[in-house]
Amino acid sequence: MERATIRELSEAVIGELERLGYASETIKLYQRLYRKLLRYADERRIPHHSLDVCHRWLRDSLGIDPTLVVRGNELAYKRNSYLPIRVCQCLTEWQLHGCLPLKRQGKLAALELPRQFKEAYDSYVTLCCEAGYSERGTYTRLNRIKRMLLFLDQHGVSSVQSITAGRISEFFRSQIELDSRTVATMLTASRVFFRHLYRKGFTQEDLSEKLPVVQANRKFRLPRTWKQEDVLSVLNSIDRGSPVGKRDYAIMMLVTRYGLRSADVKTLKLTDLRWTENVIELVQNKTRNLLRLPLLRDVGWAIIDYLQNGRPHSEYPEVFLSCTVPIRPFGLNSCALNAILAKRVQQAGVRISSEVPKGMHSLRHTLASVMLANDVELPVIASVLGHVTSEATSVYLHTDITRLKQCALDPEEVLANETV
């Protein structure tokens, strides 16, 4: 979008925030800041957006240093500085790439990208946006590529065409302080990057075929799981007399009984519920593989209760919708399900150990660990969780067996072909 006005860009950004399912209060904060920016620009008769205008507004009107590194766990972070900087970033990123910037901003993000790589890097940013990666996944990929490009610049590489396999190998040798698994994932991102550059004509040869190979030593982080009484307390405390309660209970049942990933719950379609066959059939967001599960009786009735008595009338194909206006599905990258879980935990008066992650994914770990503790074979667990291979499931072998027996959920209920 060339020479777009600040007003046009701000309206486009607000529209995208709404599409992504941002909370209405968050959107109001963005709108308030954009009105202040527009007022500042109008007073100076500046209709069009530029980074310089945003920086001047931040300094002159808000007293904010626009070069501030914004990250929640660093001393430089100031909560009241984060959002004004981000609303400016949103305008710039939307003008350049037609997508919103990543929320995470660290030391690496604060460093300026070498000019000679900017066009190629921007092309890769567009690829990531179009590929539909999660915000966290996109952030990680871009950071890995930026780290490499900064190294190449420091070692005299003056253009994309000047990049050689030898220079790339030097970079990876310089990352010796990182564990092999991290380096292996960096190599994966680099292969995609260089393959993209070759296909787009930025390079004359496909450097992705000449990257080194690293044998990753897999180091597992032990899954941390919930206690039986905690999960049951949360489930039993949900008021199923309200539409919100019916929805939240059905969501919790899907996660605790099947270990579904949050993304798959948020995108679950009405057509994925095969009532005549008594199965749930969906394409997983992470693996794109088909997952087919028996429709358990308690899960089925929870969903039926929500659909008949709690779900707002809507043309949306997704099963789960917001219960307040505007009615819409959950944004794929939103933290809505984690927020639901946090709310229900608080209402139940349950105190979860600080060692246990508070997100929905920890309930997935719990299901897998309990099944393993009850001598369910890894291939069966893998099929229930939708793992591509049993290798991903084998991490649960490293968990202490006495802790597993304290977890929630009855594995027999998951494995039994009990149907509605």
- Could you check whether the bond before residue 317 is cis, i.e. omega within 30 degrees of 0? no
Q: Which residue among 86, 110, 134 closes a domain? A: 110
- In this structure, is residue 328 part of a structural domain? yes
- Residues 346 and 389 placed together within one structural domain of the fold: yes
- Residues 102 and 127 placed together within one structural domain of the fold: no
- Residues 157 and 259 placed together within one structural domain of the fold: no
Check which CATH number belongs to the domain holding 277 and give it: 1.10.443.10
Q: Which residue among 189, 219, 249 closes a domain? A: 219
Distances in Å between the Cα of 50 and the Cα atoms of 90, 112, 257 are 12, 17, 51
pLDDT exceeds cutoff 90 at 17: no
- Per-residue pLDDT reduced to its tens digit, 65-102: 765 533 333 333 355 677 888 888 788 777 765 666 54
Q: What is the pLDDT of residue 415?
A: 41
Distances in Å between the Cα of 347 and the Cα atoms of 228, 250, 374, 410 are 17, 17, 31, 24
- Residues 71 and 188 placed together within one structural domain of the fold: no
Q: Contacts for 214-218 with beta carbons within 8 Å, 24 or more apart?
A: 214/172, 214/180, 214/183, 214/184, 214/187, 215/180, 215/184, 216/180, 216/181, 216/183, 216/184, 217/179, 217/180, 217/181, 218/181
- Per-residue pLDDT reduced to its tens digit, 254-280: 888 888 888 888 989 999 999 999 999
The model's pTM? 0.48
Q: Which two tokens stand for residue 115?
A: 């000019």
Q: Which residue among 94, 110, 126 closes a domain? A: 110
- Residues 329 and 411 placed together within one structural domain of the fold: yes
Residue 318 DSSP SS3: strand
Distances in Å between the Cα of 307 and the Cα atoms of 21, 146, 234, 244, 326 are 21, 46, 22, 12, 18
pLDDT exceeds cutoff 80 at 38: yes
- In this structure, is residue 420 part of a structural domain? no
- Residues 89 and 122 placed together within one structural domain of the fold: no
Check which CATH number belongs to the domain holding 178 and give it: 1.10.150.130
Is residue 160 within 8 Å of residue 117, measured between CB atoms? yes
* Angle at which helices 243-258 and 336-348 cross, to 10°: 100
Q: What is the pLDDT of residue 420?
A: 42
Residue 275: φ, ψ to 5° = -65, -40
> Which residue segment(s) compose the domain that 134 sits in?
116-219
- Per-residue pLDDT reduced to its tens digit, 124-149: 988 887 776 656 677 788 888 988 99
- Residues 244 and 389 placed together within one structural domain of the fold: yes
Q: Say how far apart CA 273 and CA 253 lie, in whole Å.
A: 15
